Amino acid sequence: MKKKVVSIVICFILCMGMFSLKAYAAVNLLKDSGFEENITGETTPRSYFVDASEVPAWSTSDPSNVIEIWYCPPGIGNGFTPGRPGGIEFNAHSGDWLAEINAHAPAILYQTVKAAPGALYKWGIWHMGRNGTDVMQVLLGTPTHDGSISEGTPLNPFESGAQVSSPLLSDNQDAWGPHMGYYTLPADFPESTMQFQMEAVSSNGGQTDSIQLSMGNIIDDAELYMIAEPFEKTIHVGEPEPTDEELADLINLDDEYACEIDQGTPFDGSVGRHDVTIDVKDADGNLIGTINSTFIVQSTLKVKYVDENGATLKDFPAVTYESPDVYTVTPPSGAISFNNTEYVYDKVYAGSDALTGTMDADRNVILVLKPQSSTISAAAGDAENTGAELPAAGNSNTLNYVFLCLIAGIALTSGAIRHEAHKSNMK
C-alpha cells in the first residue's frame, strides 16, 4: 500500500513537471484583420473609398493611396448590394466591414510585421467573388514592393528575394471561401520586417483588365501567425535528449501542433554543436514545416590539488568546453605554499582523470601534493603567489594557457587566444 502511495506521489510530481511546460497560443500578427477598426465613423450600408490613413492598420500601393471598404453587417437586409450585375447582397464575414483588394486600380493591400528568420508562419484569409469567380493571391516576404503592377499577371512583387506566394485562391460570390497555408521564412532572410500582401489576380471569371481588377476580390479576416521559431540551446553533456514536449517549449510551438527531431538529423548528445531539424506537424500528423535549431553540448574540466590524505588544498575554477578538444593539465614543477607548508607534486590521485585526454566528457583531474623537504622548501619560494616557478613544458599554446590560468587561479574569461571560441559564454 505504501508503495502505491509513493508511486502516485511520484506520478503526480512527474505530471506536474509535464504540465508546467509553457502553454503557447499564437496571436494574429495582423492588426485590424477584419477592417472593423477603421475610423470612418460610417454606418450606412455601402462601399467607401477612403484614404489609407482611415484604415490605420493597412497600407496600399494604390497610386492614390485609397482603400475600399464596405459597411455591410451580417443578416439579410443589413448588407450592401453593389450597383453592378447580379444584385447580390453582401455581408461581412466578421463584424460589419469587409474590404476589396483594389479600390480604383490594381494594387497590393498589405501590412508590415516584424520578421523572425527561420520561423514557421501560418497565414489565412476569407475570400469571395463579386461579379463572378474572382482569383487572388497572398504573398509573404520582403517589404520591397516596387509599386509596379502588371494587369492580370499573377505577380511576385518580391523581386529581390526568395519569397513565396500562395496558390491561386478562387471563389465565386455564393459564399465566403476560407483559405490557409504555412510558410517558413528563410533563415537568412535579410530584413527585420516582412510583409503580408494580398493581390487581385483576376475578376469575374478570369478578366484581367484594370477596370475589372478594380472590382471584386472581396476579403475579410486576414491572419498571420508565427507558430514556431528556431532556438539555440546550451546543455551539459550527459543530459537526456529533450522530449518532444520540451522541444515544443523550445520552439514556442502553438498548442495545436506537435513536433519531433527529424530522423535525418539525430541528436546524439556528444560534446559540440549540433544542428537539428525539427519537424512540425498539424493535429492530423501532416508535416507542415521544419525548424532548424541548434544544441550546444558542453563539458567541464575541473582541477584540484589535494594532500596525501585527500584533503583539498586548492580548487581551481572550472573550464567549460564546447567541443571535444584535447586537454592537458601540467603539474607544478616547483614548490607551492599552503598553510605555511611547502608542497610539491607527487602523483595523480586515485580515481582522477588522466593529466591529458579529450573533453568528450566531464573531466576531474586531481593532483596529490606532498610536503616538501625543509632544505628544498627554503629555496623554492612561493610559486603560487609569485608565478616564478611556472613550468615551460606543455603540448601546445592552448594547454600552457590553461595551465597558467590554473596556477594563477583565475577564470578563463578573456584573451585573444584561439581557445576562447570553445568556451562557454560564462554569463
Q: Which residues bind Ca ion (CB under 5 A)?
A: 34, 68, 92, 94-95, 97, 100, 102, 214, 220
CA atoms within 13 A on the CB side of 302: 11
Integer Cα distance of 246 and 268 in angstroms: 16
Q: How far is the CB of 69 from Ca ion (least distance, A)?
A: 9
Q: How far is the CB of 71 from Ca ion (least distance, A)?
A: 10
CB atoms closer than 10 angstroms to residue 425: 10
Q: How far is the CB of 35 from Ca ion (least distance, A)?
A: 5
Of 14 and 211, which CB lies nearer to Ca ion in the complex structure?
A: 211
Q: How far is the CB of 33 from Ca ion (least distance, A)?
A: 8
Residues 6+ apart with CB under 8 A from 213: 102, 106, 151, 152, 200, 202, 203, 207
All three cell numbers of 329, joined, read 593539465
> For the chain, give me the number of helices (H) and strands (E)?
6, 23
Give the residue closest to Ca ion by C-beta.
Answer: 34
**What phi, psi does 351 have (nearest 5°)?**
90, -5
Q: How far is the CB of 123 from Ca ion (least distance, A)?
A: 17
Residues 6+ apart with CB under 8 A from 66: 49, 50, 51, 52, 60, 103, 104
Of 176 and 189, which CB lies nearer to Ca ion in the complex structure?
A: 176
Q: How far is the CB of 143 from Ca ion (least distance, A)?
A: 24
CB 119 within 8 A of CB 141: no
Of 214 and 330, which CB lies nearer to Ca ion in the complex structure?
A: 214
Beta bridge partners of 225: 122
Of 147 and 167, which CB lies nearer to Ca ion in the complex structure?
A: 147
CB 31 within 8 A of CB 57: yes
Residue 239 CA from chain centroid, whole number: 22
DSSP state of 169: E
Q: How far is the CB of 150 from Ca ion (least distance, A)?
A: 18
All three cell numbers of 3, joined, read 508503495
Surface-to-core class of residue 276, CB atoms within 10 Å of its CB (0-12 exposed, 13-18 middle, 19+ buried): buried
CB atoms closer than 10 angstroms to residue 62: 23
Q: How far is the CB of 169 from Ca ion (least distance, A)?
A: 17
Report the chain's terminal Cα–Cα distance, integer Å: 48
Of 32 and 191, which CB lies nearer to Ca ion in the complex structure?
A: 32
**What phi, psi does 196 have (nearest 5°)?**
-100, 115
Of 97 and 295, which CB lies nearer to Ca ion in the complex structure?
A: 97
The amino acid occupying position 9 is V
Of 60 and 398, which CB lies nearer to Ca ion in the complex structure?
A: 60
Of 97 and 189, which CB lies nearer to Ca ion in the complex structure?
A: 97
Of 66 and 169, which CB lies nearer to Ca ion in the complex structure?
A: 66
Q: How far is the CB of 22 from Ca ion (least distance, A)?
A: 32
